[in-house]
Amino acid sequence: MARGEVKASWRKPAGMLAILLLILVWVVLVASFSAEIGSLPILVQLVIYVVLGIVWIAPLKPLLLWMETGRWRMRRD
């Protein structure tokens, strides 16, 4: 490999597909409970949907780290 040349990694396309799959699964899961959530008072619905809208981000940190480095956890040097 020439100096300065970067080798393409399969982790980034695989990670992007994993992110899209995660979003799809999360949307289907939340939508499957929409009838139960819809029967609750509007302010409770607001809190539930805000929390559910944020929670799906939690698994992204290790996935993005893996996409960049190939490791699931940061090194503790």
Q: How many structural domains compose the chain?
A: 1
Q: What's the pLDDT tens digit per position in 18-65?
A: 999 999 999 999 999 999 999 999 999 999 999 999 998 888 888 888
Can you give the pLDDT at residue 46? 96
Q: Is residue 76 part of a domain?
A: no
How many Å apart are CA 70 and CA 34, to the nearest integer? 37
Secondary structure class of 38 (helix, strand, coil): helix
Q: Are 71 and 77 in contact (CB under 8 A)?
A: no
Residue at 77 is within a domain: no
Q: Is residue 27 part of a domain?
A: yes
Whole domain around residue 37: which residue ranges? 11-69
Q: Is residue 36 part of a domain?
A: yes
In a domain? residue 21 = yes
Considering Cα of 57, then 60, then 62, then 65, what sign does the dihedral take? Answer: negative
